[in-house]
């Protein structure tokens, strides 16, 4: 194996593997710090997420959210943009889905409601990303700062909407009226019952198919269409992209709108699929979780599905852990997300110099020619 192939192996496989491993080891250390046996914890966690049908349903339900936000972050990453505003876009997407349902005639059928709510979520999520994208492309303000600000703006706006505009009459809690049953995304257990299979009820709904469809579409879009090529070219080197006839400003807008739209779909799973009404803070944590998912999944839809499943497992298993063991809570998942972002993102190349030195040393005999 020559040096270039070795380096490709290091970058492509060994490094990501070591990074994830480091994040896991660090999580184990956190478990030890709080006096919990990591192996015992892992057993409880795995049982909670895969040990029984309801648990599996919850796991896939959470996974769905992480697929949406992971894809959202990844599409922006490919354009060289860091969309930190997934939280806000998911939240505002919920407004779009909710408004679409609440303003339609409640007697309409599911064939109107479900597509309408999906379109509502897509459009509102995209709009909430469009403004920061426009400001980045045409006014030179940094996308990271504006999307952070837009997360807070979304939170304020949603509180206002929930308290003053959409609150169910006669209710103290800021939540909207229940969606008409026609507008509910079918539960998987109901669908399966229709085919004659009985499985335990869980929040898992058909949005998971939407998430898988989005994964395929994103893969096709990024690697097999002209726009996808333009996005990746801009992300790799926007100056070079200009010489290829690509307009980076337009690419920023397109990539961010797709990113925001994908983040907005979290609300389809959460609200249309399970809560069946517009509620506060349904989105919390998924936007940021998406960053960890995208980094761990190497910005590829397949990797994202795997990483999302891991975080979905942790999310559901974490709930079981908090239930079974005292002195621990689901926030351990947040710790793990932080560690994944740290080791797979910020410290991505920590082991690289060491690995290259040991596994692919520069050949001084001149086989490949020493670099000057």
Partner 1 sequence: MNDIFLTVLLTLDATIRVSTPLIFAAMAGLFAERSGVVDIGLEGKMLAGAFAAASVASIVGSPWAGLGIAILVSTSLAMLHGFATITHRGDQIVSGVAINILVAGLTIILGLAWFHQGGLTPALSNESRFLSITLPFVEQLALIPVLGPIYKELISGHNILVYLAFVVVPMVWWVVYRTRFGLRLRAVGENPKAVDTAGLSVIKLRYKALIVGGVLCGIAGAYISTAHNAQFTRDMTAGQGYIALAALIFGKWRPLTVMLACLLFGFLDAVAVRLQGVSIPGIGEIPVQFIEATPYLLTVILLAGFIGRAIPPKAVGTAYVKER
Residue 223 contacts partner 1 per CB under 8 A: no
Query: Segment near partner 1 (CB under 8 A), from 12-20, 117-125, 141-149, 354-362?
Result: 141-149
- Contact (CB, 8 A) for 36 and 180: no
Q: Which of 48, 49, 50, 54 is CA-nearest to residue 199? A: 54
Instruction: Please give the residues from 164 up to 183 whose contact with partner 1 meets the rule CB under 8 A.
Output: 164
The greatest distance separating any two alpha carbons of the chain, rounded to the nearest whole angstrom, comes to 83
d(CA 212, CA 304): 11
Residue 323 contacts partner 1 per CB under 8 A: no
SS3 of residue 152 by DSSP:
helix
Query: Segment near partner 1 (CB under 8 A), from 64-72, 194-202, 226-234, 336-344?
Result: 336-344
With CB under 8 A as the contact rule, the residue among 331, 361, 362, 370 that binds partner 1 is 331
Residue 2 C-beta: closest distance to partner 1, Å = 23
Instruction: Please give the residues from 294 up to 313 whose contact with partner 1 meets the rule CB under 8 A.
Output: 295
Query: Segment near partner 1 (CB under 8 A), from 64-72, 211-219, 255-263, 285-293?
Result: 285-293
Would you put residue 370 in left (φ > 0), alpha (ψ -120 to 50) or beta? beta
Q: Which CB, 41 or 188, lies closer to partner 1?
A: 41
Instruction: Please give the residues from 111 up to 140 whose contact with partner 1 meets the rule CB under 8 A.
Output: 135, 139-140
With CB under 8 A as the contact rule, the residue among 17, 52, 160, 323 that binds partner 1 is 160
Query: Segment near partner 1 (CB under 8 A), from 42-50, 160-168, 169-177, 246-254?
Result: 160-168
Instruction: Please give the residues from 57 up to 76 whose contact with partner 1 meets the rule CB under 8 A.
Output: none
Residue 315 C-beta: closest distance to partner 1, Å = 12
Residue 369 contacts partner 1 per CB under 8 A: no
With CB under 8 A as the contact rule, the residue among 25, 145, 192, 362 that binds partner 1 is 145
Q: What are 205's strand-pairing partners?
A: 187
d(CA 309, CA 64): 8
With CB under 8 A as the contact rule, the residue among 150, 187, 221, 311 that binds partner 1 is 150
Structural tokens at position 214: 């989005």
DSSP state of 187: B
With CB under 8 A as the contact rule, the residue among 121, 332, 355, 360 that binds partner 1 is 332
d(CA 283, CA 292): 16
With CB under 8 A as the contact rule, the residue among 14, 119, 153, 201 that binds partner 1 is 153
d(CA 273, CA 266): 10
d(CA 366, CA 358): 18
d(CA 271, CA 48): 24
Other beta carbons less than 10 A from residue 167's beta carbon? 17
Binding mask 17-56 for partner 1 (x = CB under 8 A): -------------x--xxx---------------------
Residue 314 contacts partner 1 per CB under 8 A: no
Residue 92 contacts partner 1 per CB under 8 A: no
Structural tokens at position 19: 């990074």
Q: Write phi, then psi, for 205 (nearest 5 degrees).
A: -130, 180
d(CA 348, CA 340): 10
Size of the site for partner 1 (CB under 8 A): 50
Q: Which of 212, 171, 201, 177 is CA-nearest to residue 58? A: 201
Identify how many contiguous H helices and E strands the chain contains and give both numbers: 17, 0
Binding region for partner 1 (CB under 8 A): 30, 33-35, 82, 84, 135, 139-142, 144-146, 148-150, 152-153, 156-157, 159-160, 163-164, 288, 291-292, 295, 326-329, 331-339, 341-342, 345-350
């Amino acid at each position: 194996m020559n040096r270039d192939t070795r380096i490709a192996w290091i970058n492509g496989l060994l490094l990501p593997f070591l990074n994830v491993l480091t994040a896991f080891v660090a999580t184990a250390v956190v478990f030890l710090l709080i006096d919990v046996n990591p192996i015992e914890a892992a057993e409880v966690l795995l049982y909670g997420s895969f040990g029984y049908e309801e648990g599996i349903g919850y796991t896939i339900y959470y996974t769905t959210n992480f697929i949406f936000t992971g894809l959202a972050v990844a599409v922006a990453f490919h354009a060289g943009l860091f969309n930190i505003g997934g939280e806000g876009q998911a939240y505002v997407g919920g407004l779009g889905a909710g408004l679409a349902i609440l303003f339609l005639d409640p007697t309409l059928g599911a064939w109107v409601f479900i597509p309408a709510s999906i379109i509502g979520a897509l459009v509102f999520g995209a709009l909430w990303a469009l403004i920061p994208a426009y400001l980045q492309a045409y006014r030179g303000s940094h996308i990271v700062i504006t999307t952070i600000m837009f997360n807070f703006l979304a939170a304020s706006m949603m509180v206002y909407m929930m308290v003053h505009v959409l609150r169910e009459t006669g209710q103290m809690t800021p939540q909207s009226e229940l969606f008409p049953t026609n507008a509910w995304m079918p539960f998987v257990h109901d669908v399966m019952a229709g085919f004659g299979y009985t499985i335990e009820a869980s929040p898992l709904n058909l949005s998971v198919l939407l998430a898988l469809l989005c994964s395929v579409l994103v893969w096709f879009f990024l690697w097999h269409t002209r726009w996808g090529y333009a996005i990746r070219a801009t992300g790799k080197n926007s100056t070079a992209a200009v010489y290829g006839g690509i307009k980076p400003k337009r690419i920023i807008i397109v990539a961010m709108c797709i990113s925001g739209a994908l983040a907005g779909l979290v609300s389809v799973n959460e609200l249309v699929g399970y809560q069946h009404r517009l509620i506060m803070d349904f989105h919390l944590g998924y936007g940021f979780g998406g960053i960890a998912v995208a980094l761990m999944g190497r910005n590829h839809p397949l990797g994202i599905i795997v990483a999302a499943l891991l975080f979905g497992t942790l999310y559901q298993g974490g709930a079981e852990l908090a239930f079974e063991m005292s002195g621990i809570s689901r926030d351990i998942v947040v710790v793990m997300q932080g560690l994944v972002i740290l080791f797979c993102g910020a410290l991505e190349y920590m082991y690289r110099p060491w690995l290259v030195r040991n596994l692919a040393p520069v050949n001084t005999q001149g086989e490949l020619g020493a670099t000057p």
